[in-house]
Structure 1
Amino acid sequence: MAGVRLGRSAKRGAPLGFCAKVALVILLGLVFIVVWSIFSSPTSAAVSSQRSGFDDIFDPDASPAVGKKKEVEESKKRNPSSPLKDRSGNGNGRGSRSPEKKKKKEGGIEEKAAAAAKNETREVEGQQEEEREGGEDMVEVEGLEEVVEGEGGMDEDMEDGVDVNPEEEEEEMVNEEKSAGNKKKKNKKKKKLGPLFDPGARYNWKLCGGRHGHNYIPCVDMDGGHRHHERSCPRMPLMCLVSLPQEYRPPLPWPERESKIFYKNVAHPKLSAFIKTHSWLNLSEEYLLFPRQESEFKSGAQHYLNSIDEMAPDIEWGKNIRVVLDIGCTSASFGLTLLEKDVIILSLGLANDQTDLAQLALERGIPAVMANLGSRRLPFPSGVFDAIHCGNCDVPWHSSGGRLLLEMNRILRPGGYFIISTKHGDIDNEEGAAKHGDFNSEEGMSTLMASICWNILAHTTDEVNEVGVRIYQRPASNDIYDLRRTKEPPFCKEDDKQDAAWYTPIKSCLHKVPAAIEQHGTDWPEEWPKRLETFPEWLGDLQEKLTADHKHWNSIISKSYLNGIGIDWLNIRNIMDMKAIYGGFAAALSSQKVWVMNVVPVHAPNTLPIIYERGFLGVYHDWCEPFSTHPRSYDLLHADHLFSRLKNRCKQPVVIVVEMDRILRPGGWAIIRDKLEILNPLETILKSLHWEIRMTYAKDKEGIICAQKTMWRP
């Protein structure tokens, strides 16, 4: 009103002076600020209330869980496609129905508010940029500590270890040692990166080309139905979706799926031809059956295993032998038999197997991963497998100077066992086979094993199974190397990084046994299950962090994941932890009938040896590239701060979401924990893929999304 009166008086009197004009402008500006703050305050209140339910994901006892569970179930019956409600019961959580409608109008939490602030005034944007510049690193640590406060939490950015790619780590250390003046340049570089996901991006998904089909493995398959001899990924990031088999159906619950799968889920012409010539798998109407009494061994896997036990009584399956690598996927009966003895066995599906038996293993709920036995190291740390098995083995161990056997020497634990069987029934007649190019003959293998000082414990012929079986043992100390007759192969240099295993060539040298107490592999782990919570001396100060990590994940999984987020765990068997650290997530699930593939990103601290030491499986991987597995391999994906802590950012980070869609089966689940600035646009991406957002929580700058993949394809 004062402004109106001032305007009227100006018309009647003399023209306004300069000071009066300035006062009028200031007055109008104040009025605008007051009006703008009134209309913007409800949004802030809404954001605050939406975050109020995040504590329930860690402390379900704060509210009556039973009553809320019934409420969720009733809600799902009324509207199965709607997200789950906030279990706090206040109706303000991000999972409640009314805020969901509001989000669709507003375009996600804080996105419209941020855009309005940017358009209205540069001052607000400048303050936000200063906060990001000055507090970005602190936010990563503090945000996590707030999330896990009181739950035995830990700072994930502070774990120790040796990076898998040492050359890149050295470059980073050099950069960190630069002067304070260069720090400002670093901050400017961070500013230029911008948001991980473009909030304004629109996604128009298409299916991958017809030549790839529904079994497409990007870094393995070539055009024309052929496969690469070594891992070779497409030059352009994969931004298409892999199609589904016709009449695809979710796998049966475990353990029924172990012996029966839906044939159309895995069908292809080469598999059809394979079925006709092998008795251990039978096609019966819509199912592919795997009779337990049948296997690639004529008398069965149990008889084969019994013969191994007689040859080497020191092998105690499920006690001192817990983690085993099985080279080549056939019937997987060897691994299933050992599973009953608390042995976890990883089937290594060779990329040149175009029958795709590794896909059958994964569909049955058996751990498997694809790899090439070629010129590069396998994606495993050194000295982690308690035993390596190669049944009906036709791998040319003796070729290229025994290069592949040197790789087995790298990944086999000191004192570990190497079990190999060949199709020749009479092992005494294999000397003649060597002259005809059989490199796995007694003559060829004996010479090669002597050169690396592996001791042959036993060899015999299993006349029933018609295979020759040999058991070797890697030396447990370096003393025996002094008795070598020749110096070939030479020892690897002391500064050689044994754990560098991502696109790293196999070196024609012999790794010695670790001798220093701070090196992993110096002592054999405790018997299972003691090794789960008994940490070796070489971990040093990390033991406290492992204990905290173990308690942290035990609390989250027991209080929330198993009961509070709507997942039917009877249908969950194959799980991937996309950013594993110490294996705490897998350890907390060890009592469930599941197995976990622990993935340690190649640019993260090298904690994968710790995971194996505890008795679990894992691989190295760079998430800027597709994973080495078949489509629809996993029932559940877990990503804890994977996106916000990518040390080396991908050119198109959305390719990680595309890969998640490829390796997760329809009906499978994803649990994603990260910063809200990541989760908001990520939720939009998942919705564009027609994933159902079953639950979301938010608190401060952290949040969680629980989503389920649907059958939708473009």
Structure 2
Amino acid sequence: MAMPRSNTLLAFSSLLLPSPTRRTLALVFLGAALCVVSYLLGIYSNSRPSLPPQPSLGPRRPGECHPLLLPSPSSSDGPLRFLPLHSAAAAFPLISDGQPSPPPLPLCAANFTHYCPCQDPDRERRFTTRDLVHRERHCPGPGDRPPRCRIPRPPGYRAPLPWPASRDRAWFANVPSTRLSVAKKDQNWVKVDGDWLIFPGGGTSFINGVKFYVAEMSKQVPLRNGEIRTVLDIGCGVASFGGHLLDYDILTMSVAPRDVHEAQVQFALERGLPAMLGVLSIHRLPYPARSFDMAHCARCLVPWAGHDGLYMLEIDRVLRPGGYWVLSGPPINWKNMYKRWSRTREDLEAEQRAIEDLAKRLCWKKVSEKSSIAVWRKPTNHLYCKKKSKVLKSPPFCSRSDPDFAWYEKMELCISPLPSSEVIEHTAGGNLVSWPKRLNAAPPRIAAKSIEGVTIEIFNDESKLWSKRVLHYEAYLSYLPKGRYRNVMDMNAGFGGFAAAMSKYPVWVMNVVPVDSLNNTLGIVYERGLIGTYMDWCEAFSTYPRTYDLIHANGIFSMYMDKCDILVILIEMDRILRPEGAAIIRDHVDTIVKVKQLADRLRWQSRVVHSENGPFHPEKLLIVDNSIASESNHA
């Protein structure tokens, strides 16, 4: 006589498990099987006329069961199919409440190809051009009805060249900015067979080429000994300066607005160079105090002495103690260049005198001025500056705002105070070790216990944890060590542990610290010799479409679940991810289930897998690898 199926399950489990455990698991499997059967009966007994939006699923209650289903990737509105539970890709199939899957999101209109929601030229016309306010972030509000669609790629788009070839060459079709090409036609840019062959520098900023320019700078600034690791380049153009500093193992945050040249930052990112849209206007730059080892401006046309020195005060805020400010172009070397700049000697001399005077009042020391390059250095502490402030007629020291806070925070006409120091020879906030030791050394902010509850032991443990996690990621993204990915974003960077673990690959990482984070850790990220920015992920990032190869999202969706629609965050990820890019979304299994359902609407090629903690841990990964998608899936 045949044994009942439930008894068969119990008999099989008895071979492997102790009695109480096997009975519990047998009941769980039996309940799941009954749910599946009942759902199948429901599918074939009911018609499916429409595709209403699928309600979000809350955490399952004990004893509650749902059919284990995954929409077929070949047809988002076709019949649902079961995946075998022994399949690695189906280790965590989606939980459905019986409702049909919502339809995929449509493509936006063709004129959205280069859409930047918070730097939209149409929206910026609503704002004053005074102080370049119109160039700042102006994100769509509730009344703007931002489109819920996928940004199309331009005709003829091709996968970017691999690094390091991309630094000097990129496909013109990927960044078809005719206006930029016309502006640069006399600067050694050559279009050949659809390619832009870029010979970095020449023309506007680097008359003799960027290589010569940086070599001359290295005679005045210590670029080779690891003292300078992080650089801010204001008015970066296409980031040739930052690209060449990579040869010195220096990482540059290249910043420029979306201006008349349209796509300079987009072109920089296409070349595999760190860059983002930004401008010195009325708000602080989105970086913490004491971030950069050096700030640079080459003909960036910023009125440094204007607005009572507001912009130099902002540079002072983001420079670390002892950091360097490098200025070239007007008014430096005005005696030899005034005719070329079509300015009078008197005008340029007065401008440089005003800059020199303000630098002294900030207690900066002029290091040198040779040819077209002038260098100043910020003091290592404020003991002397505070003592001599009346004599120097220095601006007052800020007292109302946190110098690290920089998200829609207005700049102030005051000096951001450095941490207190008792001895004139000491560096305020602690000394930074030279690169590359800086990457894994205890950051001074942690050693000083500036963040409550964060210790050196916690920092070291987190670094080891991320090394283990990144090694686990390799199993799912086999191209990671092979150079396929260059531009990487970490949406919730913490201490920068993910970026530190990724440093063994030929990548750079934009470390993003959400303004909603419990702790402001971006200063720690910079003290490790990494770069990043603040961000509210309910808004769009300050970059162009198709600019990142790999996005890492750790706990982002749990963080923002009750703040904004998580589909909006996924649409933004889709906007900035390159067509054949990848993403790793790490979160609690209940959140991952919801994100997977929405990710299918974007036609992402994704699967849910275990984290390095194994099958019994609630934290899971959603692995997105669009390189395996067919052309039709991301057309």
Aligned equivalents of 1:624, 1:546: Cα separation in 2: 28
Q: Which residue, out of 493, 497, 503, partners 1:580?
A: 493
Q: Which has the larger radius of gyration?
A: 1
**Mapped pair 1:643 → 2:554:** no
Deviations 1:540-559 (A, max 9, x none): 4521111011100111222x
Residue 249 of structure 2 aligns with which residue?
342
Q: 1:673 aligns with which of 586, 591, 603?
A: 586
1:615 counterpart = 2:522: no
The correspondence for 1:686, drawn from 595, 599, 602, is 599
Deviations 1:207-237 (A, max 9, x none): 4455x53111100113289693321111135
User: Are 2:492 and 2:511, in contact at CA under 8 Å, matched by a contact in 1?
Assistant: yes
Write out aligned runs for 1:198-597 (5 A).
202-203=102-103, 205-209=105-109, 212-223=111-122, 228-236=134-142, 237-279=146-188, 281-291=189-199, 296-312=205-221, 315-317=222-224, 319-423=226-330, 426-428=333-335, 441-461=351-371, 468-481=372-385, 482-484=387-389, 485-493=391-399, 495-515=400-420, 522-539=429-446, 540=449, 541-558=454-471, 560-568=472-480, 569-597=482-510
CA distance in 1, matches of 2:528, 2:329: 32
Change (3 A) 1:323 1:263: same
- In 2 relative to 1, CA 347–439 (structure 1 residues): closer, same or farther, beyond 3 Å? farther
Structure 1 residue aligned with 2:540:
626
Q: Conserved in 2, the CA contact under 8 Å of 1:624 and 1:650?
A: yes
Deviation at 1:331? 4.4
Secondary structure of the equivalent of 1:572? coil
Distance 2:548 2:147 in 1: 19
Using the TM superposition, name which of 584-593 and 699-708 deviates more: 699-708
Are the structure 2 counterparts of residues 626 and 592 from structure 1 closer, same or farther at C-alpha, using a change threshold of 3 Å?
A: same
Structure 1 position 520, deviation (Å): 10
CA distance, structure 2, for counterparts of residue 691 and residue 591 of structure 1: 27
TM-score by length of 1: 0.69
SS in 2 for 1:390: strand
Q: As a proportion of its length, which structure holds more helix? A: 1
C-alpha distance in structure 2 between counterparts of 1:608 and 1:243, whole Å: 33
In structure 2, C-alpha distance between the alignment counterparts of 1:38 and 1:363, rounded to whole Å: 50
CA distance in 2, matches of 1:238, 1:470: 47
Partners of 1:368 and 1:505 lie apart in 2 by: 22
Can you list the C-alpha shifts for 1:259-314, whole angstroms capped at 9, x where unaligned? 111110000231232232322x22111211112585741222222122222234xx
Q: Distance in 2 between matches of 1:626 and 1:692?
A: 23
SS in 2 for 1:386: strand
The RMSD of aligned alpha carbons is 3.2
Superposed displacement of residue 598, structure 1: 0.4
Q: CA separation in 1, counterparts of 2:570 and 2:73?
A: 24
TM-score by length of 2: 0.77
SS at match of 2:361: helix
Q: Assess if the C-alpha contact under 8 Å between 2:445 and 2:524 holds in 1.
A: no
Is contact 1:520-1:538 (8 Å) kept? Answer: no
Question: For 1:423 and 1:509, how far apart are their aligned partners in 2?
Answer: 25
* Shift in alpha-carbon separation, 1:616–1:309, aligned structure 2, 3 A: same
User: What CA distance in whole angstroms lies between the structure 2 residues aligned with 1:93 and 1:456?
Assistant: 68
Question: Could you tell me which amino acid in structure 2 is paired with residue 508 of structure 1?
Answer: L
Tell me the distance in 2 between the aligned counterparts of 1:501 and 1:360.
26
More RCO (CA 8 Å, sep 6+):
1
Q: Could you tell me whether the CA contact under 8 Å between 2:421 and 2:428 is conserved in 1?
A: no
Runs of 5+ unmatched residues, structure 1:
1-35, 47-78, 83-89, 116-198, 462-467
- Decide whether the 8 Å contact of 2:476 with 2:623 is kept in 1: no
Q: Which residue type is aligned with residue 388 of structure 2?
A: L
Aligned to 1:601: 514
Count of residue correspondences: 533
For the residues of structure 1 that align with 2:383 and 2:428, how far apart are their CA atoms?
16
Match of 1:141? none
| Contact 2:467–2:501, Cα closer than 8 Å, also in 1 | yes
Contact 1:577–1:637 (Cα < 8 Å) also in 2: yes
Identity value in percent: 33
Structure 2 unaligned spans of 5+? 1-26, 38-71, 76-82, 128-133
Instruction: Name 2:65's counterpart in structure 1.
Output: none
Give the secondary-structure state (helix, strand or coil) at the position aligned to 2:512.
Answer: strand
Q: Which amino acid aligns with 2:619?
A: E
For the residues of structure 1 that align with 2:552 and 2:415, how far apart are their CA atoms? Answer: 37
CA distance in 1: counterparts of 2:529 and 2:429, whole angstroms: 16
Q: Tell me how far 1:676 sits from its aligned partner.
A: 1.7
